[in-house]
Structure 1
Amino acid sequence: MKETLRKVDCLIERILTRLEQEGLKNVLFTNCVKDENVKKVIPLITDLVSSSPRYQRAENVEYCIMVIGVPNVGKSSLINSMRRLHLKKGKASRVGGEPGITRAVLTRIQVSERPLMYLLDTPGVLAPRIESVETGMKLALCGAIRDHLVGEDIMADYLLYTLNKQQQFSYVERYGLGEPSDDIESVLKRVALNLGKKHKVKVLTGTGDVNVIAPDYPAAAYELLRTFRKGELGQVLLD
């Protein structure tokens, strides 16, 4: 447990250092599943807006903030978490594990009474051009690009490469591999067999077509990606 916490602290420190190099400050890490640190968001926003030279308190009795980010980063989840904590109300924005759940800028969603604050949920945004294949793969692994546009098998192969490179070998024990491997086909086969994922495959023979039972590689790739996105393969920093 202590080792895991140490790795998380190191990961956060690396992210903060990189963001500071980019000129970004006032960074707050949240977990909208556990509502961790979410209560700190509104006080931080209030302080930043109030200290802005363009802010006129006499003319503004409420705050209206737009939430912007790449697809599937958790914008709607953040809004719902804030409503749950500050207003004791349920979901106002749809959430899901696929990019593109929010398709338009929604009407103002109240998240706080004191101060009176509204948030605008927005569709995910990406740069017009992705600078490299590797950047595209990282975005795809995070769910910012729809899986079928890249291919689950290709993404799973890149994920395996990343896990091995960072010596994150939790997948070995989880799926009963015995040892780390850089062969995605053998890994997916083991994942499929471990989970009982099988399907019928038509094989052409000299005497006709024969249906055989084979490991379901696409299902195994999807499982590997889903497990990674849930954080169950370890704390992985792609950048």
Structure 2
Amino acid sequence: MNINWYPGHMKKTKEAIKKSLPLIDIIYELLDARIPISSKNPDIDSLVGNKPRIIILNKSDLSNPDNNFKWQKKLSESGTPSILVNSLDNTGINDLIRISNVLMKEKRDKLEKKGIKNKAIRVMIVGIPNVGKSTLINSLSGRKGAKTGNRPGVTKGNQWIKLKGNLELLDTPGILWPKFEDKEIGLNLAFTGAIKDELLDIETLAYRLIEKLVTICPFLLEERYNITISGKSTIEVFEEIGKKRGCILKGGEIDFDKTSNIIIDDFRKGRIGRITLELP
């Protein structure tokens, strides 16, 4: 399954980020806590340079709790603060505001000596599509001002948004990178919905997801679908799930398309369980 997707608007987004950086105090780099490696755009480091940065592990409610803290520790070892966030219930939002103010204390102190007080901290949030930027912005702003959706590419252009804690945020659309050299990264992005489903074969995607989950958390699959996995091949597990969910065509054959959509949707919404696909 070759994934090579680089829409024109992503090129424009990179140019807009470069152009806007002189206005920015802090970068919020948003990662998906289920796939911290795959959801990190390698272009971001070179794009933002030495700007102060906070790494936000979003969707931490969908990832394994133990692995959340392992990742947080690993990322913080680089000297860049990291925060676990669940934008849906505002977990981690107060910590994000607090650390932002700590990072800007020296700059604010200098401005106050010049007579400039209460200047807003200007923040840019960057991340791949469908990593939860709009939901995070809504949590930070306390309003439903940013469009959200579970399809990548909802945010179309730059906009300044007033936030809690005297912050101003410049939102940017999600950007992927030109080519996925590692097929596992491409698959992880597809599993979590960072790549439009229309570009992929859903049956192959669901098959590969089951293949992975059987390896890392078979018990969660067994509990969710009331099946037994031991001694079964991936395709047998796939068919068993289809039977349990009533995805049967005339003649008794499994409806693989319907089964695939159920499996992918269950994973993305956390119904199978809290799963981290990549370990530090």
- Tell me, yes or no, whether TM beats 0.5: yes
CA contact (8 A) 2:75 2:81 kept: no
Of 210, 213, 233 in structure 2, the residue corresponding to residue 163 of structure 1 is 213
* Aligned position for 1:41: 96
Correspondence 1:14 to 2:70: yes
Larger Rg: 1
- Report the 3-state secondary structure (helix = DSSP H, G, I; strand = E; otherwise coil) of the residue aligned with 2:218: coil
Cα distance, 1:80 vs. partner? 0.6
Mapped partners of 1:220, 1:186: distance in 2:
13
Post-superposition CA distance 1:121-156 (Å, at most 9, x none)? 211112232221111111111211112323221221
Q: Does 1:150 align with 2:203?
A: no
Residue 108 (structure 1) aligned with residue 160 (structure 2): yes
User: CA 1:182–1:130 in 2, change beyond 3 Å: closer, same or farther?
Assistant: farther
Q: How does 1:15-30 map to 2 (within 5 A)?
A: 15-20=71-76, 23-30=78-85
Tell me which residue corresponds to 2:150: 97
Give the TM-score normalised by structure 2. 0.67
Say whether 1:50 aligns with 2:108.
no
- Deviation string 1:24-78 (CA, Å, 9 cap, x unpaired) is 5211101111211212221211221223599734277222211111111111111
Cross-structure match for 2:87 = 32
Partners in 2 of 1:68 and 1:29 — Cα distance? 16
Structure 1 pair 185–40 and aligned structure 2 pair: CA distance change class (3 A): same
Is the 8 Å Cα contact of residues 111 and 117 (structure 2) preserved in structure 1? yes
Gaps of 5+ in 2: 1-60
- Equivalent positions of 1:63-142 (< 5 A) are 63-84=121-142, 90-105=143-158, 107-112=159-164, 115-142=165-192
Question: Alpha carbons of 1:215 and 1:9: their partners in 2 closer, same or farther (altered >3 Å)?
Answer: closer
1:218–1:181 Cα change, 3 Å = farther
Q: For 2:212 and 2:95, locate their aligned partners in 1 and report how far apart those are by CA, in whole Å.
A: 33
> Conserved in 2, the CA contact under 8 Å of 1:157 and 1:184?
yes
Gaps of 5+ in 1: 85-89, 201-211
Deviates more, 1:224-233 or 1:166-175: 166-175
Alpha-carbon spacing, 1:142–1:181, altered in 2? closer, same or farther (3 Å): farther
**Which protein, 1 or 2, shows the higher relative CO under an 8 Å CA cutoff with sep ≥ 6?**
2
Is 1:236 paired with 2:275? Answer: yes
Is 1:192 aligned to residue 247 of structure 2?
A: no
Report the 3-state secondary structure (helix = DSSP H, G, I; strand = E; otherwise coil) of the residue aligned with 1:232: coil
Corresponding residue number in structure 1 for 2:18: none
CA distance 1:213–1:165, shift in 2 (3 Å): closer
Cα 1:179–1:165 change in 2 (3 A) is: closer
Give me the identity figure in percent.
Answer: 27
Q: What amino acid is the match of 1:220?
A: T
* DSSP-derived class of the 1:234 partner: coil
Number of residue pairs aligned between Structure 1 and Structure 2: 214
1:194 and 1:24 map into 2 onto residues whose CA distance is 48
Amino acid at match of 1:223: I
TM-aligned CA distance change 1:55 to 1:128, over 3 Å:
farther
